[in-house]
Amino acid sequence: MNTLEAIKTRRSTRKFKAQPVELEKLKQIVEAGQYGPTGGNAQTNHFFVISDASVIAKLKELVQAAFAKMELREDLYKSLQNSIRLSQKGNYSFCYTAPVLIVVANKKEYGNNMADVACAVENMMLAANELDLGSCYINQLKWLNEDPTLLEYLRGFGLRDDERVYASVAVGYADTESGLPNRNVTERTGNEVVFV
């Protein structure tokens, strides 16, 4: 698949098979993330490739508990409202059924942290598409990146004191008949372009 095809056919996958992802594919995906552009070539992204089901389950538990404590307000971003609402009902799974969650952190005081992480995540989602895997950009850990309980848990895996999580990506085999992610190309209805 060429680059433009990988871009146009990438879709978010939100339902995954329990099938593990091969280590070689995970290495290729995270390497694609490492090659994402960074401001001033800083290369300060910190990748955590989590495939241990018990760790993912604990993260789901901690995320649900943190969101359940939040006030549900109408002025909040729609997806954040949904996270709070589902958490308060007790049935929230922020990374869906993915067998792998790649968490990406960066320096808290670095001005390009979010942009560098987003570039890395996009590269990883394109690599996943190339490798016949589904993926989905995950915001929830970024929204909770100052939650003390989550910080403490992630520090147990090597998150440094001066780092925060800015994005994650769920990865796995799509739970479809073919096992392939949805690759239907859809026309863009927004994202206005002006040539000057």
- pLDDT tens profile 108-161: 999 999 999 999 999 999 999 999 999 999 999 999 999 999 999 999 999 999
**Which pTM value belongs to this model?**
0.95
Q: Quick one: pLDDT at residue 1? A: 84
As a whole number, the mean pLDDT across the chain is 96
- Identity of the amino acid at 83: S
* Helix extents (H) in 14-157: 23-34, 53-68, 78-89, 113-130, 140-143, 148-155
- Identity of the amino acid at 183: R
- pLDDT tens profile 24-47: 999 999 999 999 999 999 999 999
CA 29 to CA 116: how far, in whole Å?
A: 16
